[in-house]
C-alpha cells in the first residue's frame, strides 16, 4: 500500500466513473422519466456491480492482433494476440513494423464489446488493459477497496489477451502446405499453415490511407500541388484501390475494428507492371528523325496510299481534296504520335555527342533537355520551332512523293501550313490541360 499514488488513484476513479456515467446516461435517455427500469439501470451501473459483471463477461471476447473471422465469418478456429514486440524483425512489411502504437482488435460476443471499450480507456498514455496486464497497484486501488477483489478483476481483464483453449483451425479457414525442406515429394518436408488476417496491420493501413485521402492537411497539400505551390506534406495516391466489405450489415460480428471501419477493408493494387516497349530509343548517330519515322508500318502504308491516289490523277473537286487531306492528316497524326513516344525518354538525351539531329529536331523531341542546356549557357530559347519543324516535315513528304510526281512550292506550303496548324493546336491544348 505504501507504493500507491493517491492522486493517480483518484484520477483513475474519475476516469472509470465518467465512462459508467456516460453509458448510463445513454440508456436513460431512451426511457421515460417514470419507467421502472431506470432504478435497475442505476443499480447496474454502480462501479462495484458493473465491474463485477464486466469481469464475468470479459471471457466472451478476446483481444487479438491476428483474426480468423475476416477469412470466413463462420470459421470457429483460433485467433491470436501477437503484439509487434514479440514478432521477429523481417525485411518485409508486416505487423512487426507497427511498434508500440499498434491497435489491438477484439473478437467474440458483440454484446460484450462494452468491456473492451472500458479497457481501452487511457490514463497518462496507457490503457486500463495495459494497467491490468501489469497488475498496477493504483488501478487495483481505484477498482475496489478490497485488494483481493481488485486483483481478481484485474486478472479477469488481463485474460482478454489470452488464447481461448488449444490452437485449432477450421474447415472454413484457409490452409496451405509450405515447403520447408528440399524434397517436394516428401510430405515430411511440408508445414501446414493456417493464415490469419493481420487485423492490427490492416487497421493501421486503413487509417494511413484515410488520412492521405481525406484529412485537411492532405487536401491542402493536393491544392498546393495543383497551384504549383510548396507543401511540406507529400501527396500520396493509391491507384486502383479496392474496398472489401466484411460482415455485411453487421460488421461488428467480425471484430471491433472492423465495426469502426464500417466493414471497409482496403486492398492495395497488386498488378503486374505495364511495361513500355523497349523499341523506343533515342535518335542517335542519325542526321534526321525522318528515316526512322519513314520505317513505321503505318507511315509506309499511308504514304503509299497517298502516292497511288495522286498518281491516278483524280479530278480536281471537293471529293478529291477531302480524300487527299484525309491521307495527309493520317501521316501528320503518325508524326505527332512518333514525336510523343520519343518525348517520354529521359530529358537530355539530345545533348549527348552521339545525337546529330538538327537544332529544331532536338528542341522538338527533347524540349526540357534543350531548354536546360540553353539556359545554362545563357542563350535564348527558340520561338519559331513549330514553323521550322513543319518545314522539315513538308520537305520530307515532298521527297516521298517527288518520284515520279512533280512536287514543288505549292505542295510544300500546303504540307507545312497543315502541320503547323496541328502543332499549334496541340500546344494550345497542352497549355489548357496544365
Q: How does DSSP assign 134-165, residue by residue?
A: TT-HHHHHHH-SSHHHHHHHHHHHHGGGS--S
Question: What's the pLDDT at 103?
Answer: 87
Q: What is the pLDDT of residues 324-364, one digit of tens each?
A: 999 999 999 999 999 999 998 989 999 999 999 999 999 99
Expressed in percent and rounded to 5, the helix, strand and coil fractions of the chain are 55, 5, 40
For 105, list phi and psi in degrees, rounded to 5: -110, 170
Q: State the pLDDT confidence band at 249, using cuts at 50, 70 and 90.
A: confident
DSSP 65: S
Q: Are 393 and 419 in contact (CB under 8 A)?
A: yes
> Has residue 216 got a pLDDT over 90?
yes
Query: Helix H segments across 227-296?
Result: 256-260, 290-294
Question: What's the pLDDT at 1?
Answer: 46
Distance CA 94, CA 311 (A): 70
Question: What's the pLDDT at 261?
Answer: 94
Dihedral of the alpha carbons of 60, 66, 70, 75, in degrees to the nearest 10: -60
* Closest among 370, 298, 307 to 335, alpha carbons compared: 298
Q: What is the pLDDT of residues 380-394, one digit of tens each?
A: 998 899 999 999 999
Q: State the pLDDT confidence band at 157, using cuts at 50, 70 and 90.
A: very high
* Dihedral sign computed on CA atoms, order 323, 328, 329, 330: positive
Higher pLDDT, 228 or 207: 207
pLDDT averaged over the chain? 90
Can you tell me which residue has the cell 498514455? 125
Distance CA 124, CA 11 (A): 10
- Residues in contact with 129: Cβ distance below 8 Å, sequence separation at least 6, in sequence order: 63, 104, 119, 120, 157, 158, 160, 161
Q: What is the pLDDT of residues 188-202, one digit of tens each?
A: 999 999 999 999 999
Distance CA 3, CA 146 (A): 16
* Closest among 240, 64, 76, 243 to 162, alpha carbons compared: 64
Question: What's the pLDDT at 275?
Answer: 61
- The CA radius of gyration of the chain, in Å to the nearest whole number, is 37
* Closest among 302, 319, 62 to 165, alpha carbons compared: 62
Q: What is the pLDDT of residues 35-89, one digit of tens each?
A: 888 899 999 999 999 999 999 999 998 989 999 999 998 888 889 989 898 988 8
Question: What's the pLDDT at 111?
Answer: 83
Q: Are 302 and 330 in contact (CB under 8 A)?
A: yes
How confident is the model over 273-280, as a mean pLDDT? 63
Q: Which helix (H) or strand (E) holds 107?
A: strand 105-108
Q: State the pLDDT confidence band at 207, using cuts at 50, 70 and 90.
A: very high
> Has residue 34 got a pLDDT over 90?
no
> Has residue 218 got a pLDDT over 80?
yes
Amino acid at each position: 500500500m505504501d507504493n500507491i499514488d493517491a492522486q493517480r488513484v483518484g484520477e483513475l476513479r474519475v476516469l472509470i466513473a465518467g465512462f459508467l456515467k456516460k453509458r448510463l446516461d445513454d440508456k436513460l435517455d431512451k426511457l421515460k422519466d417514470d419507467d421502472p427500469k431506470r432504478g435497475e439501470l442505476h443499480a447496474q451501473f454502480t462501479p462495484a456491480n458493473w465491474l463485477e459483471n464486466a469481469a464475468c463477461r470479459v471471457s466472451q471476447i478476446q483481444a487479438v492482433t491476428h483474426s480468423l473471422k475476416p477469412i470466413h465469418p463462420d470459421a470457429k478456429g483460433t485467433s491470436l494476440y501477437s503484439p509487434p514486440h514479440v514478432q521477429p524483425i523481417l525485411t518485409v512489411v508486416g505487423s512487426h513494423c507497427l511498434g508500440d502504437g499498434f491497435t489491438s482488435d477484439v473478437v467474440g460476443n458483440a454484446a460484450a464489446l462494452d468491456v473492451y471499450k472500458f479497457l481501452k480507456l487511457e490514463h497518462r498514455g496507457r490503457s486500463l488493459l495495459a494497467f491490468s496486464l501489469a497488475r498496477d497497484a493504483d488501478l487495483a486501488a481505484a477498482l475496489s477497496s478490497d485488494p483481493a477483489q481488485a486483483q481478481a478483476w484485474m486478472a479477469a481483464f488481463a485474460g482478454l489477451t489470452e488464447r481461448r483453449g488449444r490452437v485449432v483451425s477450421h474447415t472454413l479457414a484457409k490452409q496451405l502446405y509450405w515447403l520447408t525442406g528440399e524434397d517436394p515429394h516428401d510430405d515430411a518436408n511440408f508445414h501446414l499453415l493456417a493464415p490469419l488476417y493481420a487485423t492490427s496491420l490492416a487497421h493501421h493501413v486503413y487509417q494511413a490511407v484515410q488520412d492521405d485521402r481525406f484529412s485537411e492537411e492532405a487536401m491542402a497539400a493536393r491544392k498546393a500541388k495543383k497551384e504549383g505551390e510548396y507543401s511540406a506534406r507529400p501527396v500520396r495516391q493509391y491507384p486502383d484501390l479496392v474496398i472489401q466489405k466484411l460482415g455485411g450489415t453487421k460488421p461488428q460480428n467480425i471484430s471491433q475494428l472492423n465495426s469502426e471501419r464500417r466493414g471497409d477493408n482496403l486492398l492495395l493494387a497488386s498488378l503486374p507492371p505495364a511495361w513500355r516497349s523497349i523499341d523506343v530509343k533515342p535518335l542517335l548517330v542519325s542526321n534526321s528523325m525522318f528515316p526512322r519515322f519513314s520505317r513505321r508500318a503505318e507511315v509506309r502504308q499511308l504514304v503509299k496510299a497517298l502516292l497511288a491516289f495522286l498518281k491516278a490523277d483524280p479530278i480536281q473537286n471537293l471529293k478529291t481534296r477531302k480524300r487527299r487531306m484525309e491521307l495527309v492528316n493520317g501521316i501528320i497524326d503518325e508524326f505527332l504520335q512518333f514525336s510523343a513516344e520519343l518525348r517520354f525518354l529521359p530529358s537530355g538525351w539530345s545533348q549527348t555527342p552521339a545525337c546529330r539531329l538538327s537544332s529544331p529536331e532536338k528542341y522538338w523531341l527533347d524540349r526540357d533537355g534543350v531548354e536546360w542546356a540553353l539556359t545554362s549557357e545563357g542563350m535564348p530559347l527558340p520561338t519559331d520551332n513549330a514553323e521550322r519543324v513543319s518545314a522539315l516535315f513538308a520537305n520530307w513528304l515532298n521527297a516521298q512523293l517527288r518520284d515520279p510526281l512533280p512536287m514543288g512550292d505549292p505542295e510544300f506550303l500546303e504540307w507545312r501550313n497543315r502541320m503547323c496548324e496541328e502543332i499549334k493546336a496541340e500546344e494550345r491544348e497542352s497549355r489548357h490541360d496544365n
